[in-house]
Amino acid sequence: MRFDAAERVADAVFDTACVGCRAGVIAPRGPDGVAADPWFSQTECLVRANDDTLVFVRARFLTLDGERGVKRSADIIPIDVSRPVTRHVSLGIDGLRARLVVEAELARVDSRGARSSRDLAKLSLRLENHEEWRAEFADCRSALLARSLISAHLLLVVEHGEFISLLAPPPDAAVAVAGCTNLHTWPVLAGDPTSRDSVFSSPIPLGDYPVSYAVAETAVAVTSAA
């Protein structure tokens, strides 16, 4: 139930993802200039928090079983963002070495680098593929994809807090939002537009509160054709 709102949009990405396309592929780390796909994605977002705030995280992706994509997911222990956190979490996927690096800290809120004096926390989530690189990956994409996370994305839900829009931040969070670095992923608010409790860190660019499968399906088609 906790992730239902974000999953409704995320499922559209799953269901229309092309195994051979570039969207959301997190591949083994290759030599510089050889690997076309990233070996990680980095999500950074902001949360208005208090002493009771927890963020729940679910990583989702496809792995290959022959030519068939298999849906996988892994939940991690809830994150208390009211205090500094650093955590390395193995995702426990049979046959693949992948992990999520979690960091939380008070956000910087002005151009002088001052930290928040009250309730703004910065959450960083780095999804990594630690499979060893093989020479065959450079010439055989099917071999590469067999050791990759495909259509990889994160779902985040906050309790006793709210997420900040990275696309339309309120004035008091604008500098902190500018300090967020998102790589190979696009975190947007998801679910009920009257709520700010869910984020979909998408493998394709989307706007806040994508409301239908058609929105995500169109974005997947554009990304796949690029």
- pLDDT tens for 29-49 read 998 767 789 999 999 999 999
Report the predicted TM-score, pTM, of the whole model to 2 decimal places: 0.88
Question: Residue 64: what pLDDT?
Answer: 87
Percent of the chain scoring above 70 in pLDDT: 83
- Quick one: CA dihedral 97, 103, 108, 109, positive or negative? positive
How many secondary structure helices (H) and strands (E) does the chain include? 4, 11
- Whether 128 shows a pLDDT value over 90: the answer reads yes
Percent of the chain scoring above 90 in pLDDT: 56
The neighbour count for residue 143, using CB atoms within 10 Å, is 14
> How is the chain split into domains, by residue range?
4-225
Q: Mean pLDDT in the chain? A: 85
Contact assessment for residue 59 and residue 6, using Cβ atoms and an 8 Å cutoff: no
Q: Inter-axis angle of helices 213-225 and 4-16, to 10 degrees?
A: 40
Question: Residue 55: what pLDDT?
Answer: 96
Residue among 95, 94, 119 at smallest CA distance from 107: 119
Question: Residue 195: what pLDDT?
Answer: 84
Name the 3-class secondary structure at 67: coil
- Residues contacting 58, CB < 8 A, separation 6+: 3, 73, 74, 75, 76, 154, 155, 156
82-96, 186-200, 203-217: range with lowest mean pLDDT: 203-217
Q: How far is CA 78 from CA 72, 75, 92, 161, 162, in A?
A: 19, 9, 17, 13, 15
- Whether 132 shows a pLDDT value over 90: the answer reads yes
Question: Residue 214: what pLDDT?
Answer: 45
Q: How far is CA 47 from CA 42, 75, 101, 157, 198, in A?
A: 16, 19, 18, 10, 11
Quickly state the pLDDT bin for 66 (edges 50, 70, 90): confident
- Which span out of 82-96, 112-126, 160-174 was modeled with the highest average pLDDT? 160-174
CA 55/CA 92 separation, integer angstroms: 20
Question: Residue 114: what pLDDT?
Answer: 60
